[in-house]
Amino acid sequence: MKNVLFQVATEFHYMISCSIIDKFYDPSMFNINIVICSRNTSRLSALNFDKRFNYIIVKYDHNTNEQYPDIMKLMEFIYANNFYSFYSFLYHDPLFVYLSNYLRNSGTKVYLVPDGMIAYVKFSNANVRSRLTNSINSYRFFRRHHLKFNRIWLTSWNFGRNGYYDYIIAFSKELPFISSKKIIELDYSLSLSSLKNLKNSFGVDFSHYPSLDRTVLIINDRHKLPKYKTELIESVRKYYPQHTILYKKHPNQEVENLTYLGSDIFGIDEIFPVELLIASLTNSVIISVYSTSMLYYNPSCVYFYSFPVCVASGEFRDDILRIVPKSHIKVLKNLDDLLSYSEGK
């Protein structure tokens, strides 16, 4: 059977990989290999692994002066096998840069997949120093692990500027900052069987949740924004008084006292792709600053991005140009805009 290789690091990466497998690669006809990369202990290592797939956990930090045994073992596996296709989300990781070059030269089709919303933003700062530092550390990483890489490469923090790939798997037909025509649009809605498998993998059980009909789901980001959050909660209570409020904590959020949100809010600390919850909602409202999860379309829900409100609050520095790739997502200019959509929900 043909080998397919994925390089992932987060719950989102894993979920999208499962969606791609579901659509294009029957595990009874392909060997599915998933490389889980992390600097420390990966949250994905605690998964209930799908027995249909082969998992390789690789721990490394290319910014340190170390040779990592995991990298050496991975490369033994890579060199000993041929691969039909390779998918990676780690667009400025040196291992992706090396593998995309090596595998493409070996006849493998290489696909770059956006790490969340990164394909739809553009950084206004050139960040030359950090780019140069990352590039130097990457070349040292190649040398320490005997990875022959004879190309001249300068890291870019903008999506699509690193690596040697054939196609981009994106969430819309066009990308605003990339002129490449080699874009494949992916609708990453999940089949019932995929949802069931992913819930099992992440140990998700919504049976102890409140009713998932007529809710307002607030998807938190990793920043501390108490003024914005307080005003948002007040507006939600005002405009959706009959709805249950669900608050999903970001897995990378710093420790924060959230008691000011109120006892009427159902807080969710569990770590799983929030898309699994979105797929289970009915007649509900979903609000986030700029979460990737909003790309998952549930036609019974209304979606809001609130990044302009955060900027206006003064708590959120926004030096990034943001694009909204899906028409089902509305952008709040102020919190009173919630009133326009509260009727009938």
Write the pLDDT tens digit of every residue in 89-132: 999 899 999 999 999 999 999 999 988 788 877 766 667 889 99
Name the more confident of 80 and 273: 80
| Strands 30-38, 109-112: pairing kind | unpaired
In degrees, rounded to 5, the angle at the alpha carbon of residue 326 between the alpha carbons of residues 121 and 334 is 75
Give dist(CA 268, CA 218) in Å, integer: 10
Whole-number pLDDT of residue 62: 95
**Which tens digit of pLDDT belongs to each residue from 156-193?**
888 888 999 999 998 888 788 887 778 898 887 788 88
* pLDDT surpasses 50 at 344: no
Lowest mean pLDDT among 181-185, 225-229, 295-299: 225-229
Q: Which two tokens stand for residue 154?
A: 């300068």
Give dist(CA 222, CA 160) in Å, integer: 24
Cβ count within 10 A of residue 340: 10
Residue pair 321/338 in contact (Cβ under 8 Å)? The answer is no
Per CATH, which fold does 2-192 belong to?
A: Rossmann fold (3.40.50)
Average pLDDT, stretch 285-311? 91
Q: Given pLDDT bands bounded at 50, 70 and 90, which one contains residue 324?
A: confident
**Which tens digit of pLDDT belongs to each residue from 43-55?**
888 888 899 999 9
- 128 burial level (CB within 10 Å; 0-12, 13-18, 19+): exposed
Name the more confident of 330 and 194: 330
Beta strands in the chain, from DSSP E residues, in sequence order:
2-8, 30-38, 54-59, 85-88, 109-112, 121-123, 167-170, 183-185, 215-219, 244-248, 265-268, 284-288, 301-305, 320-322, 329-331
Would you kindly state where each structural domain of the chain is located, as residue ranges?
A: 2-192, 205-341
* pLDDT surpasses 50 at 294: yes
- Percentage of the chain lying above the pLDDT 70 cut: 92
Supply φ then ψ for residue 151, to 5 degrees.
Answer: -100, 155
CATH homologous superfamily of 205-341 equals: Glycogen Phosphorylase B; (3.40.50.2000)
* Fold: same for 2-192 and 205-341: yes
